[in-house]
Amino acid sequence: MTSVLAREVAPVELEIELDVPIPRRRPPWVLLLPGLLWLALFFLVPMITLASTSLQTGSLQTGYALTWTWSTYTDAWSTYGDQLVRSFLYAGSATVLALLIGYPLAYAIAFKAGRWRNLMLVLVIAPFFTSFLIRTLAWKIVLADQGWVVGALQWIGLLGENGRLLATPAAVVLGLTYNFLPFMVLPLYASLEKIDPRLLEAATDLYATPARAFWAVTWPLSIPGVVAGTLLTFIPAAGDYVNVQFLGNPGSQMIGNVIQSRFLTVLDYPVAAALSITVMLTVLVLVLSYVKRVGAKELL
């Protein structure tokens, strides 16, 4: 009886399985289509437009025509090369200073903060609650000639009696460091927070001093955070122009000030576009060289 029932039920089950439709898999590129369209509209098209503008000649009154004038790049470099080099020097100085300040802060939040960790993270990102412009103007007040910072430096002898910080390259670097410091601290914290404390305990069990344990365990494991933080600080700092406008002087102008002036004041669009392309390509080469030299494979 059991075998007879099995023979009768089996075809029914097979028939049910055959009636179930098999879903068709969509090709992978369909899932990528929204992101590709976004990149095409808001990255590729503006980049092509900018490159085309850099090769045009004419004026706003007579109109611009694409004449493939490559000499615009060489003229822009010869005229504004100092501002370009100065931008990278200021950005590099601010990045190094932010790393020196941000790494101990991120280390303290990750390993020493305890129940105060969330509060300290909120304090790190608290400057973002106000606009970039307001934060920069606040530093103009802090570094004023009659402010407490200048008075303290004069009192300990680091500044002369008539010394000042405002309208100097030092003020620009300090402003860049402050404004982009959270971009350094947050990646460092994310990298340090993932380190297993048992690795440090194992280094201590192997008679490593705290300094030796740091350089052998903590520092190598935090390299991805260091690379991410330095890139997130250096790249926007190199193109900044607000800090120089409020904290610097005409002799400390960065390439961002030149581009802003050429686009909005002089209305020399080809030169401004050529400078923009030059800055982007230079930053791209520096970033690729830096990442490959450091060896942070996770970021490649």
Residue identified by tokens 């105060």 is 116
Residue identified by tokens 């402050």 is 178
Does residue 8 have a pLDDT over 60?
Answer: no
Rounded Cα distance, 299 and 291, in Å: 8
Domain with CATH 1.10.3720.10 in the chain: 73-299
Mean pLDDT of 167-174: 93
The pLDDT tens digits of the residues spanning 241-300 come to 999 999 999 889 999 999 999 999 988 999 999 999 999 999 999 998 988 888 655 554
Q: Specify the 3-state DSSP secondary structure of 165.
A: coil
Mean pLDDT of 103-125: 93
Q: Note the pLDDT of residue 102.
A: 96
**Number of CB atoms found within 10 A of residue 220's CB:** 11
Q: Note the pLDDT of residue 162.
A: 81
Does residue 205 have a pLDDT over 90?
Answer: no
| Residue closest to 68 by CA, chosen among 83, 79, 84, 57 | 57
Sequence-separated (6 or more) residues with CB below 8 Å from residue 64: 53, 56, 57, 58, 269, 270
Does residue 1 have a pLDDT over 50?
Answer: no
The pLDDT tens digits of the residues spanning 22-71 come to 566 667 777 888 888 999 999 999 999 999 999 999 888 888 899 999 99
Cα 60 to the center of its chain, rounded Å: 34
Q: Note the pLDDT of residue 158.
A: 84
Rounded Cα distance, 142 and 155, in Å: 16
Quick one: pLDDT band at residue 21, thresholds 50, 70, 90? low
The pLDDT tens digits of the residues spanning 209-253 come to 989 999 999 999 999 999 999 999 999 999 999 999 999 998 899
The pLDDT tens digits of the residues spanning 123-154 come to 999 999 999 999 999 999 999 988 888 889 88
User: 3-state SS of 33-97?
Assistant: HHHHHHHHHHHHHHHHHHHHHHCEEEECCCEEEECCCCHHHHHHHHHHHHHHHHHHHHHHHHHHH
Contact 87, 172 (CB under 8 A): no
Q: What is the CATH number assigned to the segment(s) 73-299?
A: 1.10.3720.10
